[in-house]
Structure 1
């Protein structure tokens, strides 16, 4: 019997991954964009939204409710991913008692193939979670534009949102390509992300005419917090972890993450 020893990409210094070097560096840039978006853009918006809800309802509470809802969003993606992967493993792995198998009959290539399939499936699942999170964020940005009444504020906010959305669209498309999704799936995802801001503008105009300020702010704050937790999960457990721990280009990867953070930090200053 043949005993095959498999090494992961993190342990094999001669393997640099399937993606070209440029894509890996751009993925680090995307990680910096997502990191800055989480901490400098989404988190302050969520905190401000919940603060306004509590002020309007005249509720005084010291407990960090906004942060708790963000954690719920984080755990939601974690639970869904681990549940699906657990079902995949039970379906694909043979129901054999490993303890009763001879040592020489173990072929680790089977385990490697299962791990590779689970890794690819996990990457695709996280890509869709990223799409949902960024689409919700884009929807809420459109809502902010639609709820503005003064023309000067609308033009300034629209310009900031457009620039911000371009960088996020590039980062989202990059992660979709790296997840080895089909071309039709990538195009459909990009189209879905593209229409969210115009849809948000239309909903903002409708909400301004129909719903009360309290209801719209409360719903927006809750959904924005869940989206923030989702983006936190994708940023730290998918993008930055995989790319930073991969072999080689340590300086350039760090530089790309820094450039991504600085880019989004600059846009936050412009949009203020």
Structure 2
């Protein structure tokens, strides 16, 4: 018994170490990928690129995002959803959950999907009110504002908007940043493009605050998805599953961090604001992992497994929302992006096939594989 207890404690310690390591790596890597565009902008002279070259850059980033979407697609349906089903079936057999007359895993996934929709709508309501209060001081708008405006029409804040926002508007018509344009205005008034008068005094300060807040809110809206992705990592029950999920989340997170960094460069966002945006975006996934660790470690293993299984099901639904509303949206047409999505899916499928990845649970009653949760609910 003593040896068994020692093995259990070593296993738990190994899982915590894996999750803590994933937190640190994901934060530092996201921070690095978010800051890389600032160096590349100097080396490659992005700011003075013509529209064609910028369009090519946007297409490349879009293809990489679709690759991450394919990775998440395989992870959601081939890894997370079966694992949630197995966990719920395992809890039903132990008597910790009642036997549901429906597929509980799929139901939790749908709940998570609608939860993310609700969060998006709340954010949109706040953004719309902020936009109505903001006096339009200039005729042009930032990439973040274009993404926000497009999201109002489409019903979601999509990374497709962040990728394509600079492809559709020539450089000479882009605003010089979320608020840097105001820093270049001397006392009195200044003409932008020969015909726009900017107000002075308190109105100018309010415009700076509202514009900066709007950009931060768009980044936070994208970060909500990353929080739940981190939660999915933090709720895993084995070190191998942690690293599998870490790879899937990182494939999407790092490309998206690079995309956010590119937008901050193109819009000439002030340095301290860019730092806030990048650090905020980099930190949310590790925070989600930390929340998952706390939920998994709370109380005894049996009681904590119930909220962990429920949260994991909800996190699966939020990933579903990210895949189909943020990544694989109607704006992402084209064979290259389709091929990138297919390659991402095939990569994770091949990895799972070659490593013999499964979601078994072992306890006093023996091993529980994929089949038990389906059969348990099928008999209801």
TM-score band, normalised by the shorter chain? 0.5 to 0.7
2:156 paired with 1:72: no
2:73 paired with 1:24: no
C-alpha distance in structure 1 between counterparts of 2:295 and 2:108, whole Å: 23
Task: Report the 3-state secondary structure (helix = DSSP H, G, I; strand = E; otherwise coil) of the residue aligned with 1:20.
Answer: helix
C-alpha distance in structure 1 between counterparts of 2:324 and 2:98, whole Å: 34
Q: Among 149, 161, 175, which residue is 1:118 paired with?
A: 149
Provide structure 2 residue ranges, at least 5 long, that are not aligned to the other structure. 1-51, 159-218, 265-273, 359-380
2:222 paired with 1:127: yes
- Deviation per CA, 1:106-128, whole angstroms, max 9, x where unpaired? xx989x99654434793434421
TM-score, normalised with respect to structure 1? 0.68
2:243 paired with 1:162: yes
CA contact (8 A) 2:70 2:345 kept: yes
Q: Among 335, 338, 341, which residue is 1:251 paired with?
A: 335
CA contact (8 A) 2:229 2:288 kept: no
CA contact (8 A) 1:46 1:224 kept: yes
* Cα separation, partners in 2 of 1:22 and 1:82, compared to 1, 3 Å: same
* Cα separation, partners in 2 of 1:50 and 1:129, compared to 1, 3 Å: same
CA contact (8 A) 1:85 1:118 kept: no
Residue correspondence of structure 1 range 94-105 to structure 2 within 5 A: none
- Deviation per CA, 1:204-238, whole angstroms, max 9, x where unpaired? 6x56xx5042x122111111011111111111011
CA contact (8 A) 2:232 2:292 kept: no
* Cα separation, partners in 2 of 1:65 and 1:242, compared to 1, 3 Å: same
Q: Which moved more, 1:182-191 or 1:20-29?
A: 182-191
Q: Among 178, 182, 190, which residue is 2:282 paired with?
A: 190
Provide structure 1 residue ranges, at least 5 long, that are not aligned to the other structure. 1-13, 96-107, 146-156
Greater relative contact order (CA < 8 Å, ≥ 6 in sequence): 1
Q: Among 198, 218, 223, which residue is 2:306 paired with?
A: 218
C-alpha distance in structure 2 between counterparts of 1:29 and 1:48, whole Å: 28
Q: Which residue of 2 aligns with 1:136?
A: 231
CA contact (8 A) 1:88 1:118 kept: no
Larger radius of gyration: 2
How far the C-alpha of 1:59 sits from its partner, in A, is: 3.2
CA contact (8 A) 1:177 1:186 kept: no
C-alpha distance in structure 2 between counterparts of 1:113 and 1:164, whole Å: 29
Residue correspondence of structure 1 range 33-48 to structure 2 within 5 A: 33-48=71-86
How far the C-alpha of 1:44 sits from its partner, in A, is: 0.7
Count of aligned residue pairs for this structure pair: 224
CA contact (8 A) 2:223 2:284 kept: no
TM-score, normalised with respect to structure 2? 0.50
C-alpha distance in structure 2 between counterparts of 1:42 and 1:113, whole Å: 32
- Deviation per CA, 1:175-199, whole angstroms, max 9, x where unpaired? 2332446344434543553586688
CA contact (8 A) 2:92 2:99 kept: yes
* Cα separation, partners in 2 of 1:66 and 1:260, compared to 1, 3 Å: same
Larger helix share, 1 or 2 = 1
